[in-house]
Amino acid sequence: MHNAFLGVEPANIEWRPAKIREGSTESPPLVPYSKQFNDIYFDSRDGKAETDYVFLDGNKLPERFAALTEGSFTIVETGFGTGLNLLRTCELWRNTQKGSKAVLNFISIEQYPISPDDLQKMYLALGVESEFTEELLAQYPPAMPGVYTIELPCRIMLRLILCPIDKALKEFAAGSEFKVDAWYLDGFAPSKNPQMWSKGLLHFMALHAVNNGERQTTFATFTAASMVRKQLRHYGFEVAKQKGFGFKREMLVGSFQEKTISSPHPTLADSYFNRETPKQAKVAIIGAGLAGCATAHSLHQRGIEAHLFESGDCLASGASKMPALLATPNISLDHNAFSQLTFLGLSHLERFIYRQQKTGNQLSFSKRCLQLGSEKYSEYQLEQYVGTYHQRYWSPDLLQWSKTRIESQEHKGLLMPGILVNGSQFCEALVASIPKQQIHLNHDVKSLEELNEFDHIVLATGHGNLLHKLADDEPSLSPLRGQLTELQQSPKQRLGLEYPINYDGHLFEYENKLIVGATFDMSLDQAINLQDRVKNIEQANERFGLQLKQKDCTDWVGIRATTYDRFPYCGPLKDRTDVSPVIWTNYGMGTRGLCLSILCGEIIASAINNEVISLPKYLLQRISPQRTQK
Ligand SMILES: Cc1cc2nc3c(=O)[nH]c(=O)nc-3n(C[C@H](O)[C@H](O)[C@H](O)COP(=O)(O)OP(=O)(O)OC[C@H]3O[C@@H](n4cnc5c(N)ncnc54)[C@H](O)[C@@H]3O)c2cc1C
Ligand SMILES: C[S@@+](CC[C@H](N)C(=O)[O-])C[C@H]1O[C@@H](n2cnc3c(N)ncnc32)[C@H](O)[C@@H]1O
């Protein structure tokens, strides 16, 4: 089997006694040591001072940060390691940026992430615990390849790319307008780890370097290896040697002068970038379900005026109205592209839920779910997934074989991440901070010409596209009708489920409700069907030995919009960079609207705002609506 996780593995750390002064009687502190690379992560005597000297001062950051009052500053680091460089940069940023509006983008690439437990130990040992370490650890991703966006205090945005560096740079999703202000070249010694100092990196550095009087790209590195020096010069950087830190004799610093560099061949992913977006862009979003509300949320967060148009009389009047929606990742033995997309989707959703929770809004009724053997996953397969995924999750109980009791029966299954929300409440939370006059309910958009005043239009119309296509080149969707049944329960009737249960259906319990179903039919019929209620209840009774009755039930019907390959259609409809408004689609979420909506909203908002996109290019190509037209 190919390496499904692209070579991303948890770091193999050993805690070793630090070197101390000869003759010292102190007992040496333990410091982290990389067994993969046979090297230390930082100077064991004073890691903080080393970082400050080599990377912060080497890039003249104290002066450059102090001079910045608005806009943004972008740092790229090769090798996230312990995050010490990030943390020292955050401290400097906080101390120099009081009263400023500027944003710090910190992008760091890492193939071997260190476990949060080890990181916590290191932060304690280094004396760097702070609001930044707290947030970093709370949002730290599993050891799976991907681009993870982590919001830190003081307007700092960390993009942690878990991927081997060669692939990370090739798949980096940003246009040629993306420019780096400072580089931290920190990937262990070139002699021990030549991949981190390849020509691909130098080419990328030159491609995204700038020298225009106002901005100039700089770099700093602990090494003075002649191969690195020569390559940097060849790719247009002026290089100077300076005294190294501590016992190290020399290190390198420098800045970009000039170099003409060829761009890689454009792919479908490039249609997301380099649009002319006016400063005061206005965006219309049609459809206020999960997809539309998440897009509006992401745009609004960026200060972009987003207007939602919804034909129904409330938010979530389509498939998103379900009282219980569960988000789980798609697991596969080869961790295929769809699995990768859903794991990344889930991590975006988890961070949104986390931020809401911090403001006192408890949106999710669960963090875990139990996947039982079903038609889709046999018990044998589920046991195999434990081997595939378990060691990548830092929490020992996750993606682990587990048991639960429902009434008198015991059930075995795979314990997975699982977020359970109420669809309407979730949509309300997404748009809570958007001014009311930008939310247009009871507004059925009949033609895109109605929205000519907007610079961008996002079609988040769910299965609406099947009834009436608003743009000629919209891709086709298929309907998958579903009915859920909700039973009111008295305290005595409660099953006391430990987790939401997934099998060939769902069994969810929260507050005083038990949810069973759902059905699947290729139909557009939105009427409630009593036979489907019977089906839902009987399915749960048979599987779990329950005696649920058709009393005090409410049914919910919706039409899922599905695509031919399960991937949503999320991106620009055409390469019409010169045409306004630009039309985007954000639909085709199928059975995974909750898992994918926050990620998809972020993708469209960051593309409209000309930012780096939190998805590798090969996955952007898989979700592009243009994939069916080429
Ligand atoms: C029974 C059932 C159970 C489900 N369970 C889960 C689950 O557990 N987990 C999960 O992740 N997903 C689940 N899903 C799928 C999930 O509901 C969808 O993936 C998700 O809601 C899709 O969101 P959306 O915003 O794309 O579409 P919708 O919620 O359908 O929103 C589209 C909106 O666009 C509006 N609209 C359309 N055309 C126009 C127009 N011309 N002008 C103005 N407004 C327009 C519609 O009124 C609608 O409100 C379930 C679906 C069903 C039916
Ligand atoms: C010296 S450490 C970086 C220290 C880090 N900057 C810090 O603040 O702690 C180098 C890092 O590069 C990572 N690394 C090594 N080879 C890599 C590769 N090919 N791709 C991505 N990361 C790699 C290692 O796992 C290690 O964490």
Q: Would you state the pLDDT for residue 264?
A: 81
Q: Which ligand lies nearest the alpha carbon of 467?
A: 1
- Calpha distance 614→352 (Å, rounded): 15
Q: Check: CB of residue 603 under 8 Å from CB of residue 615.
A: yes
- Cα 599 to ligand 1 centroid, rounded to whole Å: 16
Q: Would you state the pLDDT for residue 367?
A: 92
- Cα 156 to ligand 2 centroid, rounded to whole Å: 21
Question: Tokens in use for 471?
Answer: 């743009």
- Calpha distance 522→286 (Å, rounded): 24
Query: Over the stretch 58-92, which tens digit does the pLDDT of each residue have?
Result: 999 999 999 999 999 999 999 999 999 999 999 99
Going by pLDDT thresholds of 50, 70 and 90, the confidence category of residue 41 is confident
Q: Which long-range contacts (CB under 8 A, 24 or more apart) does 236-244 make?
A: 236/206, 236/209, 236/261, 237/205, 237/206, 237/209, 242/58, 244/54
Q: Would you state the pLDDT for residue 354?
A: 96
> Which phi and psi (to 5°) does residue 295 adopt?
-65, -45
- Calpha distance 9→15 (Å, rounded): 18
Query: Over the stretch 428-483, which tens digit does the pLDDT of each residue have?
Result: 999 999 999 999 999 999 999 999 999 999 999 999 988 889 998 899 999 999 99
Q: Would you state the pLDDT for residue 576?
A: 57
Q: Which ligand lies nearest the alpha carbon of 38?
A: 2
- Calpha distance 385→399 (Å, rounded): 8
pTM for the full model?
Answer: 0.95
Query: Over the stretch 543-594, which tens digit does the pLDDT of each residue have?
Result: 999 999 998 899 999 999 999 999 999 999 987 566 789 999 999 999 999 9
| pLDDT above 80 (res 39) | yes
Query: Over the stretch 180-218, which tens digit does the pLDDT of each residue have?
Result: 999 999 988 899 899 999 999 999 999 999 999 899 999
**Residues in contact with 139: Cβ distance below 8 Å, sequence separation at least 6, in sequence order:** 148, 150, 151, 351, 354
SS3 501: strand
Question: How far are the Cα atoms of 15, 323, 487, 495 from residue 513, in angstroms, in the given order?
Answer: 50, 10, 6, 10
Which amino acid is located at 217 in the chain?
Answer: T
Write the DSSP string, 302-341: TT-EEEEE-SSSSSS-SGGG-S-EEE-PPP-TT--HHHHH
Q: Which ligand lies nearest the alpha carbon of 321?
A: 1
Q: Check: CB of residue 462 under 8 Å from CB of residue 561.
A: yes
497-515 mean pLDDT: 94
19-28 mean pLDDT: 74
Q: Would you state the pLDDT for residue 629?
A: 64
Q: Would you state the pLDDT for residue 250?
A: 96
Of 372-376, 418-422, 575-579, least confident by mean pLDDT is 575-579
Ligand 2 atom index nearest CA of 11? 25
Q: Would you state the pLDDT for residue 577?
A: 63
Q: Would you state the pLDDT for residue 168?
A: 96
Beta sheet of 282-286, edge-to-edge order: 439-440, 305-309, 282-286, 456-459, 582-587, 569-572
Per the prediction, the chain carries an average pLDDT of 93
Going by pLDDT thresholds of 50, 70 and 90, the confidence category of residue 377 is confident
521-536 mean pLDDT: 96
With a pLDDT cut of 70, the percent of the chain lying above it is 97
Q: Check: CB of residue 141 under 8 Å from CB of residue 89.
A: no
Q: Would you state the pLDDT for residue 280?
A: 82
For residue 483, list its beta bridge partners.
557
Q: Would you state the pLDDT for residue 246?
A: 86
Q: Would you state the pLDDT for residue 457?
A: 97
Q: Would you state the pLDDT for residue 2?
A: 47
- Cα 580 to ligand 1 centroid, rounded to whole Å: 27
Residue 433 burial (CB count, 10 A): 9
Q: Check: CB of residue 185 under 8 Å from CB of residue 219.
A: yes
520-536 mean pLDDT: 96
Going by pLDDT thresholds of 50, 70 and 90, the confidence category of residue 426 is very high
- Cα 113 to ligand 2 centroid, rounded to whole Å: 9
Query: Over the stretch 128-176, which tens digit does the pLDDT of each residue have?
Result: 999 999 999 999 999 999 999 999 999 999 999 999 999 999 999 998 8
Among protein residues, the one with the nearest Cα to ligand 1's atom 21 is 320
HSE of 569, CA atoms in CB hemisphere, 13 A: 30
329-344 mean pLDDT: 94
- Calpha distance 363→426 (Å, rounded): 7
Does the beta carbon of 236 sit less than 6 angstroms from any atom of ligand 1? no
Q: Which domains does the chain have, with CATH numbers?
A: 45-256 (3.40.50.150), 271-317+425-476+564-628 (3.50.50.60), 368-417+478-562 (3.30.9.10)
Return the residue matching tokens 């080599």.
Answer: 54
Q: Check: CB of residue 551 under 8 Å from CB of residue 569.
A: no
- Calpha distance 42→538 (Å, rounded): 61
Residue 377 burial (CB count, 10 A): 19
